[in-house]
Amino acid sequence: MPRILIVEDSPTMRSLLTSSLEELEGAVKIVEVASGFEALRHLPRERFDLIVTDINGLGLVSFVKSNAAYRDIPLVIVSTEGSERDRDKGIGLGADAYLVKPFEPEALRDIARRLLEGAE
Amino acid sequence: MAKKGGRRGGNKADREFVSEAEEILETMRGRLADLSDCLGAGAEADPELVNALFRAAHSLKALAGLFRFDPISGLAHKLEDVLDGLRLGRVALAAPLVGWLDETIALFGSLLGQVGDGAALSESAARIEQLTAGVAELTAPAQPQDEFASLDLDASVLRALTEYEEHRLRENIRRGRHIALVDAPFEIKTFEEGLAELSGALRESGEVLSTLPTPGDALESQIRFSLLVATDLSPAELTARIEFPGAAVRTVRAGRAGPRPPAPAEPAAAPAAPAMTPAELAADAPAPIPELESLKSISDTVRVDIRKLDDLMNLVGELVIQRGAIGDLIARLGGHSETAKIARDFTKMHKALDRKLRELQSAVLEVRMVPLRQVFEKVSRVVRRLRRELGKQVELEIRGADTELDKLIVEALVDPLMHVVRNALDHAIEPADERRALLKQETGRISIDAFQRGRHVVIQVRDDGRGIDRAALRGRAEQLGLVAPDAALSEKETLDLIFAPGISTREEVSETSGRGVGMDIVRSNLAALGGVVDVESTPGRGTAIAMTLPITLAIIQSLIVGVRDRRFAIPLNSVLETLVIDPTAIQVSEGRSLLNLRGTPLLLRRIDEEFALTGGARAVRPCVIVIGIGEQRVGLVVDRLEGQQDTVIKPIQGPVQNLRGISGATDLGDQDPVLVLDLSALVEDALRRREAA
């Protein structure tokens, strides 16, 4: 069962991300955290197949993508309209895809399907 | 946030939206006032204030979007853009921009007032367009500069900085602070505590610009963090100050030597928007940190529509009345020997019920009570703004902000209070040079004191300005035909002329004090709440305006009185004393009835004459009820005192709806509605009649 880590500080947006991804075909396990720091605590504990993160900071992206142990986990940045520059930096750091809020749930699922397939 | 089909529903949704949006606006107003203070004092804009404004604009945009109020959400979007530019240093903060922000926030206020009125809302579109068009020139981008070339910093760190973090870095370089990179290992299981400790120590010595987790050769069980810090301390000093095992401090850029630049105080709470910052740490750390606690206090609060509380209050009121009816029944049971024992048991139960009902009643009342603080904050913001606009030096002192009043009263109080304070600022306080010439302190003072007095709350606004010019006041009143040129007025009567409609003692009508709204409106607004306003003034020394208001409008204790064959309820909170008198003690002079009350003449009003009651007979020995509202005293003459009772005043429908002197009706539990006397109106009329006489 694919395991997805969702990092998002807004509870509303978090539950929206979760509910969108729960509708993926086949069961997925979703772990929700509210911050990059929480994510750092989860990363060594279990293996993830996908990380979906907001863009309040680039620390998590840079950490995941520069760390041999996590580098291969696909990472999606969910950003707001105004934060193109941070998003571009995130892509530069190695993020695999991005999604702009507000998003269509299906668009998120498309990205997730593509990245999860590639990982297998 | 992207809730589909959440089409704006009935009024309830609108109200929810407005109430939540109002809260956000309130926050914005406060932050903006602080920000413009920063600017006024020549200080740098506190980044946390700009961040807070930005977050508020973002929430407002999201909220308005959710409820599909497109004009509001569009304007909020624009505001968010502007604030984002400000936050990221793309735009410089200057007075015109603060003015724009002020206007925009004010426009939100009026837009919220139009919610539910589609036509009005779309009419505002032009204004929105005008505002959004006007901001372009105010937000011409600041000169971009690349100062990072001088940094001895690994590209991987620079790459991982968000735009905001870059901006803060640039800002600190510009100020000439040392930039250092602090690197430390943590146990992965407990890194948050350790990191919070380190960040806390660093924040005491400077600003933490970014916190980046770094992989490396550290053990599997460890994680390293690099903290980019701006500080006035040298690396050696910083190392000594933080006392953190394993932490390595490396200078990335040396700051300016010599005296430290007057850096503004570090924001108490670190910026929360860009995560991976200390604020986020704070939210994660287990230790009690203010931000965490404030989140908790939010979750302990429930927002309730005041109308629901009104319904609840009405229900409690009905229960109170039912209780009264049961009391009567018990009294009747007690009157018969065969049921006397049952009556005694009943009495016990009745007492217990009574106690619980009182508790319930005060609990519901309690819920409606809010401190005056919010209103006072609003006032002090307006004062700060006006002070700037009028260029006057004024200090505002506020005491008693914790004094509580019924929410509805507090809301209705805002306008009158604001009016009185504006008057003081605009008219009463003299310009600095004039004050200097008068040997007064150049800075004028306005104080607002709130305190409870019995079942009333008094709010007193004092200034040390020029005082009320009695001759001018009198002249204006004569001009308007309110006073005969030869009428002899007492000091107090003259001062009370400021409450007459159409009076304005200063010739020009100023923007600040509004157009054509005078103290008469203040008086009538307060009277509608069952309150009164008193004025005292010493020429050259200042004026004091005291507003006296009942604590609540919901349930009041009333004195039930009989007048001929009718009954009336008199709110007990204004009753000072009751006397039974001999009719011969009433002196009639110049058409006025007076009673000598311990040496002071008390103006009397006969309730039966007031309402032209003729049925039944007058009592041989009438009763006088001495009413005190604010500083005013009037005696009401009635025939009987029937007792005291809790009453819920309800508005009357029908022919007596607008009868002056009656504020509503109440049901005493015996199916016979009783009219409640409007004491403010009665007292006011009595005094006016005296003035006219």
B272-288, pLDDT tens digit by residue? Answer: 334 344 444 433 434 44
Provide the pLDDT for residue B479. 84
- Look at B2 and A62 and tell me if their CB atoms are within 8 Å: no
- Look at A85 and B80 and tell me if their CB atoms are within 8 Å: no
Whether residue A117 lies inside any domain: the answer is no
Whether residue B294 lies inside any domain: the answer is yes
Q: In the numeric block, which tokens belong to residue B266?
A: 């570090």
Q: Taking a C-beta distance cutoff of 8 angstroms, is the pair B23, B60 a contact?
A: no
Tell me the residue range of the domain where A89 lies. Answer: 3-106
Number of domains in chain A: 1
Distance in Å, alpha carbon of B379 to nearest chain A alpha carbon:
33
Average pLDDT over residues A39-57: 88
Provide the pLDDT for residue B217. 60
Q: Is the pLDDT of residue B447 over 90?
A: yes
Whether residues B291 and B325 share a domain: the answer is no
Measured distance CA(B403)–CA(B393) in Å, rounded: 28
Whether residue B150 lies inside any domain: the answer is no
Q: Taking a C-beta distance cutoff of 8 angstroms, is the pair B661, B655 a contact?
A: no
Distance in Å, alpha carbon of B160 to nearest chain A alpha carbon:
5
B100 touches chain A (CB under 8 A): no
Q: Taking a C-beta distance cutoff of 8 angstroms, is the pair A81, A100 a contact?
A: yes
The SS3 of residue B230 is strand
Whether residue B1 lies inside any domain: the answer is no
Which chain A residues are closer than 8 Å to B89 by Cβ? none
* Selection from B63, B91, B90 nearest residue B77 by Cα: B63
Whether residue B262 lies inside any domain: the answer is no
- The model's pLDDT over B408-435, given as tens digits with 9 standing for 90+, comes to 788 888 888 988 998 888 888 888 888 9
Q: In the numeric block, which tokens belong to residue A64?
A: 């995941």
Whether residue B5 lies inside any domain: the answer is no
Return the ∠ at Cα B592 (arms to B590 and B636), rounded to 5°.
175
- End-of-domain residue from the set B351, B370, B389: B370
Q: Is the pLDDT of residue B143 over 60?
A: no
Q: In the numeric block, which tokens belong to residue B218?
A: 């550290």
Whether residue B145 lies inside any domain: the answer is no
Measured distance CA(B59)–CA(B77) in Å, rounded: 10
SS in 3 state form for B284-319? HCCCCCHHHHHHHHHHCCCCCCHHHHHHHHHHHHHH
The SS3 of residue B500 is coil
- End-of-domain residue from the set B524, B550, B576: B550
Which chain A residues are closer than 8 Å to B189 by Cβ? 41
In this structure, what CATH number is given to the domain that contains residue B114? 1.20.120.160
Whether residues B382 and B347 share a domain: the answer is no
Q: Is ipTM > 0.90 here?
A: no
Provide the pLDDT for residue B513. 42
The CB-based long-range contact list for B514-520 (8 Å cut-off, 24+ gap) reads B514/B419, B514/B422, B517/B419, B519/B419, B519/B420, B519/B423
Q: Which residue has the higher pLDDT, B464 or B318?
A: B464
Q: Which residue has the higher pLDDT, A71 or B321?
A: A71
- Look at B191 and A40 and tell me if their CB atoms are within 8 Å: yes
Q: Taking a C-beta distance cutoff of 8 angstroms, is the pair A28, A1 a contact?
A: yes
Provide the pLDDT for residue B291. 40
* Selection from B530, B16, B23 nearest residue B308 by Cα: B16
Provide the pLDDT for residue B645. 75
- The model's pLDDT over B19-70, given as tens digits with 9 standing for 90+, comes to 888 888 888 988 888 888 877 776 677 788 888 888 888 888 888 887 788 8
- The model's pLDDT over B643-690, given as tens digits with 9 standing for 90+, comes to 877 776 666 666 655 678 887 777 766 667 788 888 888 887 877 766
Whether residue A116 lies inside any domain: the answer is no
Number of domains in chain B: 5
* Selection from B398, B411, B502, B522 nearest residue B460 by Cα: B398
Task: Look at the pTM and tell me if it is higher than 0.90.
Answer: no
The SS3 of residue B535 is strand
Tell me the C-alpha to C-alpha distance, in Å, between residue B625 and each of A112, B557, B595: 80, 15, 12
Give the least confident one: A115-119, B441-445, B449-453, B459-463.
A115-119
B163 touches chain A (CB under 8 A): yes
Interface contacts A/B by beta carbons within 8 Å: 102
Whether residue A51 lies inside any domain: the answer is yes
Whether residues B287 and B193 share a domain: the answer is yes
Mean pLDDT of chain B: 78
In this structure, what CATH number is given to the domain that contains residue B279? 3.30.70.260
Q: In the numeric block, which tokens belong to residue A45?
A: 């504990």
Residue B303's Cβ-side half-sphere holds a number of Cα atoms within 13 Å equal to: 10
Q: Is the pLDDT of residue B83 over 80?
A: yes
Positive/negative CA dihedral, B299, B301, B306, B312: positive
B273 touches chain A (CB under 8 A): yes
B159 touches chain A (CB under 8 A): yes
The SS3 of residue B668 is coil
For residue B64, the Cα-to-chain-centroid distance in whole angstroms is 24
- Look at A62 and B280 and tell me if their CB atoms are within 8 Å: no
Whether residue B534 lies inside any domain: the answer is yes
Average pLDDT over residues A23-38: 88
Chain B CA closest to residue A61: B160
Whether residues B167 and B283 share a domain: the answer is yes
Average pLDDT over residues B141-151: 64
Chain A CA closest to residue B221: A44
B 179-208 → A contacts, CB under 8 A: 188-189, 191-192, 195
Measured distance CA(B340)–CA(B332) in Å, rounded: 9
* Residue percentage of chain B with pLDDT more than 90: 7
Tell me the C-alpha to C-alpha distance, in Å, between residue B355 and each of B359, B369, B380, B558: 6, 21, 42, 18
Whether residues B321 and B461 share a domain: the answer is no
- Look at B212 and A41 and tell me if their CB atoms are within 8 Å: no
Positive/negative CA dihedral, B306, B307, B308, B313: positive
Average pLDDT over residues B152-173: 84
Q: Taking a C-beta distance cutoff of 8 angstroms, is the pair A17, A108 a contact?
A: yes
Provide the pLDDT for residue B476. 84
Whether residues B442 and B508 share a domain: the answer is yes
Cβ burial, residue B140 (10 Å; 0-12/13-18/19+): exposed
Positive/negative CA dihedral, B629, B635, B638, B643: positive
Whether residue B147 lies inside any domain: the answer is no
- End-of-domain residue from the set B550, B568, B588: B550
Whether residue A114 lies inside any domain: the answer is no
Provide the pLDDT for residue B546. 92
- The model's pLDDT over B600-653, given as tens digits with 9 standing for 90+, comes to 889 999 999 888 888 888 888 899 999 987 778 899 999 998 887 777 666 666
Chain B CA closest to residue A68: B215
Whether the upstream peptide bond of residue A102 has omega within 30° of 0, thus cis, is yes
- The model's pLDDT over B289-304, given as tens digits with 9 standing for 90+, comes to 444 434 343 445 677 7
- The model's pLDDT over B521-565, given as tens digits with 9 standing for 90+, comes to 888 888 777 788 888 988 889 999 999 888 776 567 788 899 998
**Residues 6+ positions from B648 with CB-CB distance below 8 Å:** B313, B314, B317, B318, B320, B321, B554, B555, B666, B667
Average pLDDT over residues B4-13: 50
Annotate A30-66 with DSSP letters as a single string.
EEEESSHHHHHHHTTTS--SEEEEE-S-SHHHHHHHT
Q: In the numeric block, which tokens belong to residue A70?
A: 């996590």
- Look at A102 and B160 and tell me if their CB atoms are within 8 Å: no
Please give the order of strands across the beta sheet that includes B632-638.
B575-580, B623-629, B632-638, B600-606, B592-597, B586-589
Tell me the residue range of the domain where B674 lies. Answer: 555-692
In this structure, what CATH number is given to the domain that contains residue B559? 2.40.50.180
Q: Is the pLDDT of residue B72 over 60?
A: yes
Measured distance CA(B574)–CA(B684) in Å, rounded: 14
- Look at B281 and A37 and tell me if their CB atoms are within 8 Å: yes
Pairing of strands B444-453, B456-463: antiparallel
**Residues 6+ positions from B247 with CB-CB distance below 8 Å:** B182, B183, B184, B198, B239
Chain A CA closest to residue B189: A41
Measured distance CA(B148)–CA(B140) in Å, rounded: 23
Measured distance CA(B39)–CA(B193) in Å, rounded: 37
Whether residues B387 and B530 share a domain: the answer is yes
In this structure, what CATH number is given to the domain that contains residue A61? 3.40.50.2300
* Selection from B258, B295, B302 nearest residue B280 by Cα: B295
Annotate B503-517 with DSSP letters as a single string.
--SSSSPPSTT-SS-
Give the least confident one: A57-71, B95-109, B157-171, B545-559.
B545-559
- The model's pLDDT over A69-110, given as tens digits with 9 standing for 90+, comes to 888 999 999 987 777 788 888 888 889 999 888 788 899 999
Average pLDDT over residues B109-113: 84
Which chain A residues are closer than 8 Å to B299 by Cβ? none
Measured distance CA(B192)–CA(B181) in Å, rounded: 19
Provide the pLDDT for residue B512. 40
Which chain A residues are closer than 8 Å to B73 by Cβ? none
Among candidates B2, B220, B280 on the partner chain, residue whose Cβ is nearest the Cβ of A16: B2
B291 touches chain A (CB under 8 A): no
* Selection from A46, A43, A67, A38 nearest residue B215 by Cα: A67
Measured distance CA(B468)–CA(B429) in Å, rounded: 11
Q: Is the pLDDT of residue B514 over 50?
A: no
Substitution target from A63, A73, A75, A99 for chain B, most B beta carbons within 10 A: A63
